[in-house]
Amino acid sequence: MRYIAAYLLLKLANPEATPTADAITKVVSAGGVDVDSERINKLLSALEGKEIEELIAEGSSKLASVPSGGAAAPAGGAAAGGAAGAAAEEKPAEEEEESDDDMGFGLFD
């Protein structure tokens, strides 16, 4: 992910130029992250001859078909709202503590 992000940053900086392995290495290294040149070369070979704008559009259309997980509101929610509101007032709300865990991975892993 870090390599494609560096590629896109370089492409934004100069849309006419194709980012090189050295340029991607410099961007990733500037973030203090170890560089895997094999992965950079693999990325560059996969993107060779392709327009990044077309790849983004294709990926966006694929993501549009993925369910986003929002649940529908119950049909009787408005009618039962008064009773539920009274029950909610009696029971003290417990605040959930947010975790600062990164779930085993970081931004630049």
Is pTM beyond 0.85? Reply is no
Lowest-pLDDT range of 6-15, 18-27, 93-102: 93-102
Q: Identify the burial level of 95 via C-beta atoms within 10 angstroms of its C-beta, where 0-12 means exposed, 13-18 middle and 19 or more buried.
A: exposed
Write out pLDDT tens, residues 85-102. Answer: 555 556 555 555 555 555
Residues 35, 29: contact at Cβ < 8 Å?
yes
* Dihedral Cα 55, 58, 63, 24, nearest 10 deg: 0
Write out pLDDT tens, residues 26-80. Answer: 999 998 989 999 999 999 999 888 888 888 898 888 888 888 776 555 565 555 5
Per-residue pLDDT at 85? 54
Average pLDDT of the segment spanning 12-31: 91
Q: What secondary structure does DSSP assign to 8-60, as a single string?
A: HHHHHH-TTSPPPHHHHHHHHHHTT----HHHHHHHHHHHTT--HHHHHHHHH
Helix, strand, coil % (nearest 5) of the chain? 50, 0, 50
Per-residue pLDDT at 17? 87
Retrieve residue 60's tokens: 């966006």
